[in-house]
């Protein structure tokens, strides 16, 4: 239950995304690990967040930093052991933090034993029917024209130089990530076991990777000249949002509800709000991230348009928006909103605004520090997208600065003279460090803690009721307003002048008022009436 005691906890929760490889490195090998997360649980609790989402730590060759899984029910030695994970869950629960783990059901790793067996078994075998294997086209090229999200064709030869085995296999992402064939019922049974495995370990929820992609159009037809709706991580319309996928989530919902209390299912459903809402119908997932919100810049009209659409869809579907400004795949807010000092003010304001909007909010590690996107030198880039498409997400995955002092790579490494972090930290990284910001009453970290404390108090005393509709508007001066029940108003100044805000008691502000008005690039929470 949430602090208001009426709705499930996740409806009002703030969830903090931990990207374990870049969070804290307890053994000094240059890569963050589960013990590192355990050591920092008190920090996570001090933020006041309700839950922690851990991105993949399962066994993996790490081609896509863990999103290529070779054993779904174990921990990669790089991150620790299953025992460490159990300690992490227990330690988190003692601090009243819930744990959400990542599940990657769209694709496996080429190292997964079932994929290896499929390759070995040869064309036409039952083993191959667990994945999408198909002979090449008449021109000797791939079976269809689908592109990989990471660039190039979505097909690779199963046995590259063989004259007998002419099969290709489908991978919507890197060649190291073969897609499962969900039309084979055995795949559904396999993943129900995996889901139960993690829920039985005591996790409070599961984040489902590429949740809209599991089923592909029957027969895998060519895209042809279908409008290329692909942008960013979006994939071709024949490879996503197929009707059959909904039965998977109905099944998973039944499983999630066998547990007491029921477990949370949150999907990475990268679709427009009206399509994504179909994944959060009452018997399917509980949440899907509001990707349209994550994609917009500092543009008041775009914010209003996206918010109004989410509000409309929420009123129709009854499922609350799930807000996020950042994750491990998208540019940091500071940089996206203009960079430098202006970017920092805007990122502060956007965070305050988002935490005032109705529904659950997810924040990505380092967002509470206002970290910018880092320009990682090409030679140091590790994202498989870089190799194939010259796009890299590494800049948002740089290991966190815990201390202003440089020792142990700004406290990332818990070992004296530990190995260099897997991605280099830039010059001046210590200026954003947790320790310095913790002492500074004007820092982003302090503001984040204040916002969460205030949000909790207002939910707790019944002022903020997530289920009530909100009204969104934009004044000519570029002031975005979100009016909620209980007289609570979020005001976000997106124009270039100081603007008056609604009368009332200001309970939180991202920047000092100027002669009683909200300056540009600032946000406030006001209790009116």
- Does the CA dihedral 182-188-189-191 come out positive or negative? positive
Site for ligand GLC in 232-291 (CB under 6 A): 233, 268
Nearer to ligand GLC, 330 or 464 (CB): 330
Nearer to ligand GLC, 381 or 483 (CB): 381
Of 94, 222, 258, 378, the active-site residue reads: 258
CB of 150 to ligand GLC, least distance (A): 8
Single residue of 176, 210, 271, 294 touching ligand GLC by CB under 6 A = 210
Measured in whole angstroms, how far is the alpha carbon of residue 505 from the centre of its chain? 34
The DSSP letter of residue 131 is B
Site for ligand GLC in 97-116 (CB under 6 A): 104
Nearer to ligand GLC, 294 or 458 (CB): 294
Based on C-alpha coordinates, what's the Rg of the chain? 23
Q: How many residues line the site for ligand GLC (CB under 6 A)?
A: 10
Of 209, 284, 326, 521, the active-site residue reads: 209
Query: Cβ–Cβ contacts within 10 Å for residue 98, how many?
Result: 21
Q: Token pair of 352, please?
A: 């305050």
Nearer to ligand GLC, 33 or 383 (CB): 383
CB 74 within 8 A of CB 82: yes
d(CA 231, CA 209): 17
Single residue of 29, 39, 86, 329 touching ligand GLC by CB under 6 A = 329
Which residue has 């969104």 as its token pair? 472
Q: Token pair of 457, please?
A: 């108090």
CB of 243 to ligand GLC, least distance (A): 22
CB of 270 to ligand GLC, least distance (A): 7
Q: Token pair of 66, please?
A: 């863990």
209 among known catalytic residues: yes
d(CA 288, CA 276): 7
CB 15 within 8 A of CB 2: no
209 CB contacts (<8 Å, ≥6 apart)? 56, 67, 102, 103, 104, 105, 106, 268
Which residue has 């990530």 as its token pair? 177
Site for ligand GLC in 23-52 (CB under 6 A): none
Single residue of 64, 284, 311, 521 touching ligand GLC by CB under 6 A = 64
173 binds ligand GLC (CB under 6 A): yes
Nearer to ligand GLC, 63 or 313 (CB): 63
CB of 328 to ligand GLC, least distance (A): 6
The DSSP letter of residue 49 is -
CA dihedral (113, 114, 115, 118) in degrees, to 10, reads 120
Q: Token pair of 354, please?
A: 């988002």
CB of 391 to ligand GLC, least distance (A): 11
CB of 102 to ligand GLC, least distance (A): 8
Nearest position to ligand GLC, beta carbon? 67
Nearer to ligand GLC, 122 or 152 (CB): 152
CB of 431 to ligand GLC, least distance (A): 28
d(CA 114, CA 70): 9
- Does the CA dihedral 204-210-212-213 come out positive or negative? negative
Nearer to ligand GLC, 209 or 241 (CB): 209
Active site residues: 209, 258
Residues that bind ligand GLC (CB under 6 A): 64, 67, 104, 173, 209-210, 233, 268, 328-329
């Amino acid at each position: 239950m949430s602090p208001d005691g009426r709705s499930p906890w996740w409806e009002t929760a703030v969830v903090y995304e931990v990207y374990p490889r870049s969070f804290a490195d307890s053994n000094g090998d240059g890569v963050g690990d589960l013990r590192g997360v355990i050591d920092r649980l008190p920090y996570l609790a001090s933020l006041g967040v309700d839950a922690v989402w851990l991105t993949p730590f399962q066994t993996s060759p790490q081609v896509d930093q863990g999103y290529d899984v070779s054993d779904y029910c174990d921990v990669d030695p790089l991150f620790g052991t299953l025992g460490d994970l159990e300690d992490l869950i227990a330690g988190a629960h003692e601090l009243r933090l819930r744990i959400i783990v990542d599940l990657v059901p769209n694709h496996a790793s080429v190292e997964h034993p079932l994929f290896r067996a499929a390759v070995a078994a040869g064309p036409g075998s039952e083993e191959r029917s667990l994945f999408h294997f198909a002979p090449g086209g008449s021109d000797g090229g791939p079976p269809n024209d689908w592109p990989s999200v990471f660039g190039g064709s979505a097909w690779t030869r199963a046995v590259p130089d063989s004259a007998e085995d002419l099969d290709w296999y489908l991978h919507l992402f890197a060649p190291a990530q073969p897609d499962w064939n969900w039309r084979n019922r055995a795949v559904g049974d396999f993943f129900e076991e995996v889901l139960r495995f993690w829920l039985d370990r005591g996790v409070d929820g599961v984040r489902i990777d590429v949740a809209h992609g599991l089923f592909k159009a029957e027969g895998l037809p060519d895209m042809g000249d279908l409008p290329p709706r692909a942008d960013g991580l979006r994939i071709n319309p024949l490879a996503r949002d197929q009707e059959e996928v909904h039965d998977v989530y109905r099944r998973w919902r039944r499983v999630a509800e066998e547990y007491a209390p029921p477990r949370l299912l949150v999907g990475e459903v990268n679709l427009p709000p009206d399509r994504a809402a179909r994944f959060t119908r009452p018997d399917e997932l509980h949440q899907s991230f509001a990707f349209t919100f994550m994609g917009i810049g500092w543009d008041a009209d775009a914010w209003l348009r996206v918010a109004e659409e989410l509000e409309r869809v929420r009123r129709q579907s009854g499922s609350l928006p799930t807000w996020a400004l950042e994750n491990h795949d998208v540019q940091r807010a500071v940089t996206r909103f203009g960079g430098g000092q202006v970017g920092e003010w805007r990122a502060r304001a956007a965070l305050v605004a988002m935490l005032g909007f109705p529904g659950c909010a997810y924040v990505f590690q380092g967002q509470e520090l206002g970290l910018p996107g880092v320009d990682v030198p090409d030679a140091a880039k590790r994202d498989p997208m870089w190799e194939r498409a010259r796009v890299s997400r590494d800049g948002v995955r740089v290991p966190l600065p815990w201390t202003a002092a440089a020792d142990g790579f700004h406290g990332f490494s818990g070992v004296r003279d530990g190995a260099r972090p897997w991605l280099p930290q830039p010059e001046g990284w210590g200026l954003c460090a947790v320790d310095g910001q913790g002492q500074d009453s004007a820092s982003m970290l302090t503001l984040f803690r204040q916002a969460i404390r205030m949000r909790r108090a207002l939910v707790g005393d019944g002022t903020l009721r997530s289920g009530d509709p909100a009204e969104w508007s934009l004044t000519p001066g570029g002031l975005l307003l979100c009016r909620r029940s209980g007289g609570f108003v979020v005001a976000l100044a997106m124009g270039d002048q100081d603007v008056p805000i609604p009368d009332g008691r200001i309970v939180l502000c991202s920047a000092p008022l100027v002669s009683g008005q909200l300056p540009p690039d600032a946000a406030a929470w006001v209790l009116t009436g």
